[in-house]
Amino acid sequence: MIWRVLIIAVIGLAILWGLRRIWRDWTGHFNAEEQEAKRLRRERDLRERAQPGVIDLKRDDDGTFRPGDDDKRR
């Protein structure tokens, strides 16, 4: 009787350990894909920002976004 309980407990622990390992592998894989996508988006945004037609906007005192050349306007 005790052997059955021990065998079932060992099998249950092995299954749980395997499921935990699968969960960690999957989450690690998805996190790596998410980080790569974030890095690619950042690089794309920096390339787009470097183009000549892009205007930098800065928040003015009243909260409105205006072109960043405030020193030249005043």
58 belongs to a structural domain: no
Query: Could you list the residue range(s) of the whole structural domain that residue 14 is in?
Result: 1-33
28 belongs to a structural domain: yes
Q: Which of 52, 49, 70 has its CA nearest to residue 61?
A: 70
Domain count, the chain: 1
14 belongs to a structural domain: yes
22 belongs to a structural domain: yes
15 belongs to a structural domain: yes
Q: Which tens digit of pLDDT belongs to each residue from 18-74? A: 999 999 999 999 999 999 999 999 999 999 988 888 888 888 889 898 887 645 544
18 belongs to a structural domain: yes
72 belongs to a structural domain: no
Q: Which tens digit of pLDDT belongs to each residue from 2-31? A: 999 999 999 999 999 999 999 999 999 999
Phi, psi of 25 (to 5 degrees): -65, -45
